[in-house]
């Protein structure tokens, strides 16, 4: 009889600090005061409110979060930022509306566009020399909106990601001003920025961290509480001000569509515990978090071969530690820290790896990462060449997100077309029938209706070769393409 592996048993094998988690969720497996989950797993019984129509204790919890972020409206979700993005995109648009989407948005944004049958135009972010997605240029946005106006089009909404997975922030204040001058609603996916802008009136974090987009004029901001705060996976929030261009009743309408009708009281209790932690300990914990990040960056400045990626002219969230090493691919970096230092990083791309930090990280954990970097730096400095170095250097010259695919069909039209599954090698010259991406971070290289070029196939082959996970393909590695009529 085949041995059955049990998930619970496997999870219990994890120790709080071995491997040390430089990945989400933000509680880093450090427990806040909490109850036995079986004791509090209930449904909407008397006295415990209803997340879909909060009038009591859950309404109070949402207001407490609104106070923390300095906004007027907060909607909590147990369906992650995905649910809240789908909700917000639907609430801000009508079927067939024209929208602008930053091309480095998460696949959930494209799912929202497909479900709403939206007419999409993409804005491409700047790309660093290392192939990392940067900010959306406000001047480019202004030119695009003027061009749209000349062509008789009226985009109803724009969706951007700020901060990005690697912590790059766009100038949301300028972007919001430009959008609003053209009657365009601005939605910001700030899933990776739930720690930004907390209690700005108390000046906790302004010196160390960027502002939250809700304080910069965005109409709606979606944050994943679980990514960088001590909250359970799937917990998220939608933040809005009173003057948002999106009506609250429309948010409520589509929240009912996308959010589960049986929200977990365990997850909601976790959000309450997180909120209480921030209220009671945030004044001490948040500045300490910023200081710890300053210390580890300072400690790595003397290294020669291993470094934290920086871009001085871009605004960045310092909590995202992007690591590069001469002659090593991102997957090699992840493997090194996992095997040599028992550190589990969040993700890797072709030329870098990402250590995701949070307010719950410890001095011991950050010191282990710094010592691991120093050890690797010594090893690389002692070697003129590494085994496979040439391969790694070649892979670092391949950027994943610098391509601008040709659109053959609108995404809303292409999604409903008949498709067939073909090997990657046979996809060149066809039209994509689904979202093709590398996960994480879940940014599509192709969306339905776009031409599959040889360049894109080469990028996907290299990603697969380097051990990255291809998303959108079948179990045997085939991709969907549209059947030509």
**pLDDT attached to residue 485:** 76
Average pLDDT rounded to a whole number, residues 189-199: 95
Q: At 467, is the pLDDT very low, low, confident or very high (cuts 50, 70, 90)?
A: very high
The bridge status of strand 306-308 relative to strand 343-345 is unpaired
What's the per-residue H, E or C state across the chain?
CCCCCCHHHHHHCCECCECEEECCCCCCCCCCCCCCHHHHCCCCCCCCCCCCCCCCHHHHHHHHHHHHHCCCEEEEECCHHHHHHHHHHHHHCCCCCEEEEECCCCHHHHHHHHHCCCEEEEECCCECCCCCECCCCHHHHHHHHHHHHHCCCCCCEEEEECCCCCCEECCHHHHHHHHHHCCCEEEEECHHHCCCCCCHHHCCCCCCCCCCHHHCCCCEEEECHHHHCCCCCCCEEEEECCCCCCCHHHHHHHHHHHCCCCCCHHHHHHHHHHHHHHHHHHHHHHHHHHHHHHHHHHHCCCCCCEEECCCCCCEECCCEEEEEECCCCHHHHHHHHHHHHCEEECEECCCCEEEECCCCCCHHHHHHHHHHHHHHHHHHHCCCCCCCHHHHHHHHCCCCCCCCCCECCCHHHHCCCCEEEEEHHHCCCCEECCCEEECCCCEEEECCCEECCHHHHHHHHHHHHCCCCEECCCCCCEEEEECCC
Tell me the C-alpha distance between 396 and 279, whole Å: 44
Tell me the C-alpha distance between 124 and 443, whole Å: 12
Q: At 355, is the pLDDT very low, low, confident or very high (cuts 50, 70, 90)?
A: very high
b/e sequence 95-116, b meaning 16+ C-beta within 10 Å: eebbbbbbbbbbbbbbbbbbbb
- CA 293 to chain centroid, in Å, comes to 20
- Contact (Cβ atoms closer than 8 angstroms) between residue 188 and residue 172: yes
Tell me the C-alpha distance between 191 and 176, whole Å: 18
- On average, the pLDDT of the chain sits at 94
For the cut 90, the answer to whether the pLDDT of residue 396 exceeds it is no
For the cut 60, the answer to whether the pLDDT of residue 206 exceeds it is no
pLDDT digits (tens, 9 = 90+) for 24-55: 999 999 999 999 999 999 999 999 999 999 99
Give the domains, in start order, of the chain with CATH numbers.
Answer: 37-278 (3.40.640.10), 282-395 (3.90.1150.150), 411-482 (3.90.105.10)
**pLDDT attached to residue 478:** 97
Q: At 205, is the pLDDT very low, low, confident or very high (cuts 50, 70, 90)?
A: low
The bridge status of strand 320-325 relative to strand 157-161 is unpaired
For the cut 90, the answer to whether the pLDDT of residue 304 exceeds it is yes
**pLDDT attached to residue 201:** 43
**pLDDT attached to residue 202:** 47
**pLDDT attached to residue 383:** 81
Average pLDDT rounded to a whole number, residues 475-480: 95
**pLDDT attached to residue 234:** 98
Q: Provide the angle, in degrees to the nearest 10, between the axes of the packed helices 80-92 and 107-115.
A: 40
**pLDDT attached to residue 423:** 97
For the cut 80, the answer to whether the pLDDT of residue 367 exceeds it is yes
Q: Provide the angle, in degrees to the nearest 10, between the axes of the packed helices 363-381 and 265-299.
A: 50
Q: At 207, is the pLDDT very low, low, confident or very high (cuts 50, 70, 90)?
A: low
Average pLDDT rounded to a whole number, residues 343-370: 98
Which residue is listed with tokens 């995109």? 89
Lowest mean pLDDT among 86-95, 252-261, 398-407: 398-407
**pLDDT attached to residue 275:** 98
- CA 219 to chain centroid, in Å, comes to 19
For the cut 90, the answer to whether the pLDDT of residue 435 exceeds it is yes
Comparison of pLDDT for 203 and 162, the residue scoring more: 162
For the cut 80, the answer to whether the pLDDT of residue 360 exceeds it is yes
**pLDDT attached to residue 387:** 53
For the cut 80, the answer to whether the pLDDT of residue 194 exceeds it is yes
Of 303, 346, 14, 38, the residue nearest 165 (C-alpha): 346
**pLDDT attached to residue 397:** 61
- CA 210 to chain centroid, in Å, comes to 16
Q: At 390, is the pLDDT very low, low, confident or very high (cuts 50, 70, 90)?
A: very low
CA count, 13 A, side-chain hemisphere, 138: 14
**pLDDT attached to residue 18:** 86
**pLDDT attached to residue 402:** 94
- Contact (Cβ atoms closer than 8 angstroms) between residue 238 and residue 87: yes
Of 110, 148, 96, 144, the residue nearest 124 (C-alpha): 144
Tell me the C-alpha distance between 26 and 289, whole Å: 12
Q: How many residues does the chain have?
A: 485
């Amino acid at each position: 009889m085949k041995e059955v592996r049990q998930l619970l048993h496997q999870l219990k094998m994890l120790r709080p600090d071995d491997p040390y988690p430089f990945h989400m969720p933000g509680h880093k497996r450090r427990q806040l005061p909490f109850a036995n989950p079986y004791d509090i797993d209930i449904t909407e019984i008397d006295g415990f409110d209803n997340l879909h129509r909060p009038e009591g204790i859950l309404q109070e919890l949402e207001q407490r979060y609104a106070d923390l972020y300095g906004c007027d409206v907060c909607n909590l979700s147990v369906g992650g930022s995905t649910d809240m993005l789908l909700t917000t995109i639907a609430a801000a648009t009508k079927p067939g509306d024209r929208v602008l989407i930053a091309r480095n948005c998460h696949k959930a944004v494209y799912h929202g566009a497909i479900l709403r049958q939206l007419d999409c135009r993409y804005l491409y972010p700047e790309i660093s020399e290392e192939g990392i997605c940067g900010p959306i240029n406000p001047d480019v946005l202004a030119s695009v909106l003027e061009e749209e106006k000349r062509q008789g089009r009226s985009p109803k909404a724009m969706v951007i990601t700020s901060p990005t997975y690697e912590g790059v922030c766009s100038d949301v204040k300028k972007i919001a001003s430009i959008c609003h001058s053209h009657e365009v609603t601005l939605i910001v996916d700030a899933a990776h920025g739930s720690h930004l802008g907390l209690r700005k009136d108390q000046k906790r974090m302004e010196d160390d961290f960027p502002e939250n987009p809700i304080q910069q004029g965005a109409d709606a901001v979606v944050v994943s509480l679980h990514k960088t705060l001590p909250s359970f996976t799937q917990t998220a929030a939608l933040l809005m001000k009173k003057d948002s261009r999106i009506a609250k009743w429309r948010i409520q309408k589509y929240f009912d569509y996308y959010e589960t009708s049986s929200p977990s009281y365990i997850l909601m209790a976790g959000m309450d515990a997180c909120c209480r932690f921030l209220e009671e300990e945030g004044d001490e914990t948040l500045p300490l978090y910023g200081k710890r990040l300053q210390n580890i960056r300072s400690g790595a400045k003397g290294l020669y071969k291993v470094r934290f990626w920086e871009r001085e002219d871009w605004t960045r969230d310092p909590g995202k530690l992007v690591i590069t090493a001469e002659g090593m691919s991102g997957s090699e970096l992840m493997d090194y820290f996992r095997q040599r230092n028992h550190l589990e990083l969040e993700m890797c791309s072709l030329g870098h790896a990402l250590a995701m930090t949070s307010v719950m990280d410890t001095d011991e954990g950050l010191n282990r990462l710094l010592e691991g970097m120093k050890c690797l730096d010594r090893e690389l400095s002692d070697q003129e060449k590494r085994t496979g170095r040439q391969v790694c250097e070649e892979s670092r010259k391949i950027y994943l997100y610098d391509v601008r695919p040709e659109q053959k069909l609108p995404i809303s039209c292409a999604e409903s077309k008949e498709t067939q599954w073909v090997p990657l090698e046979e996809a060149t010259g066809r039209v994509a029938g689904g979202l093709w991406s590398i996960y994480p971070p879940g940014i599509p290289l192709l969306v339905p209706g776009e031409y599959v070029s040889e360049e894109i196939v080469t990028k996907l082959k290299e990603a697969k070769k380097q051990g990255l996970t291809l998303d959108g393909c079948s179990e045997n590695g085939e991709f969907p393409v549209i059947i030509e009529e």
